[in-house]
Amino acid sequence: MKDENKWPSIFGKFVKFSFVVIGMIMNYIAKETGRVWKENARPSNPPRIWW
């Protein structure tokens, strides 16, 4: 019975870890694309940064 209780906790930790990794990747992509977008397009009014 104890072995059955291990799997939900391991799965929960894996899900949390994957969410953290996805969040870090999304944050990095957003910063990189925002930087490139600001360098390429220079409008009269500066674009708002959402992150």
| Structure tokens, 25 | 């990747």
SS3 17: helix
42's enclosing H/E stretch is: none
Q: Tens of pLDDT along the chain (51 residues)?
A: 566 678 788 889 999 999 999 999 999 998 888 877 666 665 555 556 655
Whole-model pTM: value is 0.48
